[in-house]
Structure 1
């Protein structure tokens, strides 16, 4: 499901385009310029994310970088949380030189050029001797990747038409993204078992370069006249808007600056006699304040501006107006519509994916360094078999929606990942319970017939439970967010709300890495499972407090 895909293009709302699947979908992609480009752009979006958030941790683990540092390095994923901050610039400005290629194409191609250079830069940088430089290059790559996502999402909406509707383009985007997850995950590990990591990342840079050639031939659309000025007539007076934007901006600048300063101090060479910075202490002291500054303060500002009278005058639609419409106006609508229940919504969003997002960056070091599986085994179990299990979980989630309804399925999606983490805790501590279940259920004998030994079966069973659970949870979470957004702010509200999951997940990874270093993987899995119970409590609270008429309207939609 894509958030408001049918809502974004109102002109297509009445038509029901044929849904192509499998090979028919791929054949259509190869025969249509727009659809084929969308497949390539989905690949270009998924490959750097897979490499930077997942695969690079296998390289760092093999280089014996400690897990606390890996956790801090995973904070480069915050670029995906903050991308809506500069999305108005992507929408309004053209890049010098290559901007003449097209409204969206210039940004996409520019980001791809930066990604090629950054991935090649990682390939020639030693992650041990030049860890600070390595982290800086990875951060630049994450910024380029997040900005590319903004431009690709906008391109998908802009070029949709009756022949290639936005639903088809969204499906192709997911298809390309999943292909990139296989290439950047399983295939990269397969290559790394046979060649050096720098060569692998050099090849990945080459793949992004090939997609950039496809981008050169992509269609594009003209920039429509802006209606931001007329929209501002319903907003508060300009002076009040500027004051509100300054408050929100100060909160974001402080949060990003605090994270950046700590990352620099964490990655800098140790000073003899000086205590090394503690991720756990920083997270305990700053994480609540960062969430308040980036989530709580904007919501408070939005709620207060709801009480202000509209200016009643159209403006010229300058940069400040675009920032207001992008950052504050969607939150004003949300707080005005939900009232105090917006706090329940934010609590659910911040915690729903916490128990599996937090430890995802440590999955490959866990499999390779802690459990000593080979790269080929991990490539098959985690990336090939695991992606199939995730797709199965998404299908099961769809079936649960049809049989149980929306809120029961969302509750199931909150409970199951926590149970999956307890299974991973057992895997980390010898898999006693996993082995007992495999013998009692006959799975040991069944998989033995195809040459899968007990050691590999443990990994397959744990990954099966985890990925099916997160597949169900992912489908439920998308449905939950889609049911919360307004038709008038579909794209922006969905981007703002979904970005909160990246924020809390990225902050949590730092303390998770330090927990692993101090207490081991088993303790980390149990703590993250317990954190998942917070999401269960928020879902139950949302279910109980939701007005009956609103719930009925959502289900009908």
Structure 2
């Protein structure tokens, strides 16, 4: 603090300095990209499970319907093509990332309209088909946006840009959840599910506008440099290189296992949250109002706290603290289940979940972003986020059966217990030096040459 300044002035100055990076152009663009990235999966998870419960589909079927989002767990398979395959006309005009983004968003807009019109209570086959198409296009959009976000954010803006991106992601999910339900519900606008899903499809627009605003990603020069290489070299660079480079790192398998199970308890809870809300007798109006007021501001708070928490604690401690808080949020839903139709406990549970989930997901994605080499951004981030999706999609698929067998209270306690292996793996990674103190060190580890014979002491120190 400058001489003669007051403590209050110093506090205000420090707060402004902490918050200022959130409002820079590229972090704001990351927020807009996040809105477009966040809405498709929300339509296929929270909103879809609410919809299916409302039309009388049983819990165990709803649990396994989450498997329709399988493309999110397999997106690493086609991420290399998105990374390197040039689109005629579009790539020369817009660049690699934006060309793919605009094409996929146009197709995604159509598929969301068709999904909303599918009437699952009458035509479950058509519903499943359009859900899978939407999941494939939504996962492909994630590949593009994740890579583009990492490439457009300079290192000193990566944590704040990632936080903004996750806020946008959660905002997109909020619009696709609460917003879509409000449009469809007779207690809201009453326009029905087809119109509600169709209107939500316009959430592709913020990401498209951000891409037009920011311009080409850093990856475009790589694609141009490889344009005249032979097919063998292209396949080597596209299909083999990203996976070989990552797996050659020390601790690669432990890191992949950690990514797989870290958010498993949270994923199992999310799969069955809306069916429980319906079963406990909450009206659409109660659900929408609590999510709109409490949930939205909880989301803002949790996401905004993530970058300062990372700067204060370092990556390892931040992952541990956010993981413990997500476990705590699941126990608040156990309390809600024990109380039954209690608006007080629904408010407490929603507030806790939104704050802790916004905090935890942002920190987790920042960790994954730091692990992705800039040479293979789309493919490596897709590999890591796909593994996280396996926990959400298939390991969490039996959640409906477990809810039926354990009851709601037992189910939510079980989701907290399921989170323990992820915390233990985090402790092991931390002790071995594979969870570094900052994004800078993570990026240095990702970009450095790998030597399988290097001693353990060569790894960056964890905080």
Alignment TM class, shorter chain as reference? 0.7 to 0.9
TM-score by length of 1: 0.64
Separation in 2, partners of 1:374, 1:554: 47
> Structure 1 residue 180: deviation in Å?
1.9
| Residues 396 and 78 of structure 1, relative CA distance in 2, 3 Å threshold | same
1:421 paired with 2:417, answer: no
Separation in 2, partners of 1:50, 1:408: 29
Separation in 1, partners of 2:121, 2:306: 42
What per-residue deviation string (whole Å, max 9, x for no partner) do you get for residues 317-340 of structure 1? Answer: 2234410013x2233332xxx2xx
Paired residue for 2:276? Answer: 366
1:122 paired with 2:115, answer: yes
Paired residue for 1:318? Answer: 234
Partners of 1:61 and 1:67 within 8 A in 2 = yes
- 1:323-338 alignment to 2 at 5 Å? 323-326=239-242, 328-334=243-249, 338=250
| Residues 44 and 516 of structure 1, relative CA distance in 2, 3 Å threshold | same
| Residues 216 and 61 of structure 1, relative CA distance in 2, 3 Å threshold | same
Partners of 1:227 and 1:317 within 8 A in 2 = no
1:69 paired with 2:61, answer: yes
Task: Give the secondary structure class of the aligned counterpart of 1:385.
Answer: helix
Separation in 1, partners of 2:207, 2:364: 32
Separation in 2, partners of 1:129, 1:423: 36
Paired residue for 2:385? Answer: 498
Separation in 2, partners of 1:545, 1:216: 39
Give the greater-gyration-radius structure (CA).
Answer: 1
Partners of 1:401 and 1:409 within 8 A in 2 = yes
> Structure 1 residue 41: deviation in Å?
3.7
Corresponding residue pairs, total: 418
1:224 paired with 2:221, answer: yes
> Structure 1 residue 83: deviation in Å?
1.7
> Structure 1 residue 143: deviation in Å?
0.9
Paired residue for 1:108? Answer: 101
What per-residue deviation string (whole Å, max 9, x for no partner) do you get for residues 508-546 of structure 1? Answer: 232001222343322221222211122222223333444
Partners of 1:425 and 1:523 within 8 A in 2 = yes
Paired residue for 1:353? Answer: 263
| Residues 343 and 152 of structure 1, relative CA distance in 2, 3 Å threshold | closer
Partners of 1:396 and 1:472 within 8 A in 2 = yes
Separation in 2, partners of 1:393, 1:169: 15
Separation in 2, partners of 1:221, 1:397: 28
Separation in 1, partners of 2:310, 2:164: 23
Partners of 1:228 and 1:322 within 8 A in 2 = no
Separation in 2, partners of 1:552, 1:161: 21
- 1:45-60 alignment to 2 at 5 Å? 45-60=37-52
What per-residue deviation string (whole Å, max 9, x for no partner) do you get for residues 412-448 of structure 1? Answer: 33333223323322211226xxxxxxxxxxxxxxxxx
What per-residue deviation string (whole Å, max 9, x for no partner) do you get for residues 98-142 of structure 1? Answer: 556423333222212221211111222111111121011011011
Separation in 2, partners of 1:168, 1:469: 17
Partners of 2:43 and 2:177 within 8 A in 1 = yes
| Residues 47 and 515 of structure 1, relative CA distance in 2, 3 Å threshold | same
| Residues 46 and 106 of structure 1, relative CA distance in 2, 3 Å threshold | same
| Residues 519 and 399 of structure 1, relative CA distance in 2, 3 Å threshold | same
> Structure 1 residue 62: deviation in Å?
0.4
Paired residue for 2:137? Answer: 144
Partners of 2:162 and 2:362 within 8 A in 1 = no
**Uncovered stretches (5+) of structure 1, i.e. residues with no partner:** 1-16, 233-313, 432-453
Range 185-194 or range 455-464, more displaced: 185-194
RMSD (Å), alpha carbons: 3.9
Partners of 2:76 and 2:380 within 8 A in 1 = no
Paired residue for 2:197? Answer: 201
- 1:12-411 alignment to 2 at 5 Å? 20=20, 25=23, 40-95=32-87, 101-103=93-95, 104-156=97-149, 173-191=165-183, 192=185, 193-194=187-188, 195=190, 196-205=192-201, 207-208=202-203, 214=209, 220-221=215-216, 223-224=220-221, 226=223, 317-326=233-242, 328-334=243-249, 338=250, 341-367=251-277, 369-395=278-304, 401=310, 404-411=313-320
Paired residue for 1:535? Answer: 422
Separation in 1, partners of 2:312, 2:212: 45
Range 93-102 or range 51-60, more displaced: 93-102
Task: Give the secondary structure class of the aligned counterpart of 1:82.
Answer: helix
> Structure 1 residue 63: deviation in Å?
0.8
Task: Give the secondary structure class of the aligned counterpart of 1:137.
Answer: helix
Separation in 1, partners of 2:210, 2:290: 33
Range 480-489 or range 140-149, more displaced: 480-489
